Structure 1
Amino acid sequence: MNRKVTKAVFPVAGLGTRFLPATKSVPKEIMTLVDQPLIQYAIDEARAAGIKEFIFVTSRGKGALEDYFDHAPVLEQQLRAKNKDKLLKVLERTNMESGAIAYIRQHKALGLGHAVWCARRLIGDEPFAVILPDDVIAAEKPCLQQMVEAYEETGGNMVAAMEVNPSDSSMYGMLDIAEDMNQMVRIKGMVEKPKASEAPSNLAVIGRYILSPGVLQNLDNISAGSGGEIQLTDAIAQEIAQGSNVYGYRFAGQRFDCGSKAGFLQATVAFALAREELRDDLDGYLRNLMSQDKAAQ
């Protein structure tokens, strides 16, 4: 029986320079998608997958992120006095109990692999998940929950996978497929950000991982790769070379790249349209906007 995945690493040390000047004083992960911050979507997904321990790899200037998960006694007291029970329920989702959350500093920006390696002592010898909050995934069943259920059958290592246009392969880690089993693929290699002509497939790695402790051992000995950074894909590829199973999982859902302005705006529209109380007003506005644009043409 495969060990349960109860720990998750959230690499949130990035400076968010694409969103300056907003991120000068506000961590990107606290920026709101409709009415809750990006990090809340990641936390909700992790909880749905059975995660109990949350490890944040942060950097200087992320104090607001830590405060977000703390209790707010004065605010809670005021809401309770005014019988605003619905808002109290909303706040409950943002609270983390003592001991459930930990913060590790990444002092140098050496890449995703290095960020995960920073959490090695808290992970120990257990399998663990990695969630990149920039990748927000709208799905009926949360993406990591889908992966955890599949992992219980397969073990090994698993990465979320999505088909992309070949011209976009230089933006992703791309999978070299040994066996295609429809929703799941067995991987024989991974290439970080290849040219379109050198991509082994059109299946890209998206920001959800379930990894074995062996990946951490590989990160101990790995040198800088693509972009001068320590790449997590290189450490996962070593697992393949050492005979461990690595799978790609074609998740059901729509992924939004909220690390880019365009992706963030697309996600805002999609998530707002999915909300019953917002749908009619926003849909009417967008239709009116499109009709005006067509008239102007």
Structure 2
Amino acid sequence: MSKIDAFRYDGSNKFSAKKADTKIDDWYTDDADYAARLREQATEIDALQTRMYADNRYGVLAIFQAMDAAGKDGTIQHVFTGTNPMGLRVYSFKRPTEQELDHDWLWRTYLNLPERGTIGIFNRSYYEEVLVVKVHPDILTKSQRIPADLTADLDKVWKHRYDAIVDMEKHLARNGFLTIKFFLNVSKKEQADRLIARIEDPEKNWKFEEQDVEEREYWAEYQKAFEEAINETASKNSPWYVIPADDKKNMRLIVGRVLIEEMKKLNIGDVKPDEARFQALQKLIPKLKA
């Protein structure tokens, strides 16, 4: 049994927000050990991505969802440090633009999916449509320009959105794209400490939004929304990983290990030399020297 199996939800087991750990025993002994392990993982991720790029048949979509201040930005930055930028596509989902609101809610997702050979990273994602929008349904009824008769039954709306997500992720899997979904699970107390740190440090004020404090009032509703979204959309082809997030360093090491083990499951061939091509290329050397 792999160490990462404890965090994996693939539809065969139910996720309970109340029972999920936000802190576990460290995967590192000290700061030096953490840095060494992170470097080692980064090298391995880069090597796997390079092989995937050369193979050019598979792609990976890594989704990061969390409460505010859980550490999405830092995790993406540290885990993928050392990965060739040519093989990465990063997209941050913010409030929908006017153009995006003129389309269906999955439209902007399809615009930003990764190409074969690349790792696409979604900082937040289409899951916001069954998280934030579910906690604040007035966004759906007042802002999304959907006909009123189609939003009258909210339970049906959420069911349809879960179904649409599952269908899309199945479609991606059938076309060679692996979707790995991370829920960075931070405790309410740790979130408060991090928000206070952003307020107290002038250089971190830009990270702070007053709305983050207001959203804490909906903590229980968000936990329920995450629980339902994970249980409704977890599958073997597109698993969720619920990562304890109270220790950022530990979280990054776990996320890195998950990516490595999931990418190793892809049938990516090693880049093998083509002897005939090699010999043909040798004939070009004299011309280049001339």
Higher helix share: 2
Higher RCO (C-alpha under 8 Å, 6+ residues apart): 2
The two structures share one fold, judged by TM-score above 0.5: no
TM-score scaled by length of structure 2: 0.26
**Rg bigger for which structure?**
2
When normalised by structure 1's length, the TM-score is 0.25
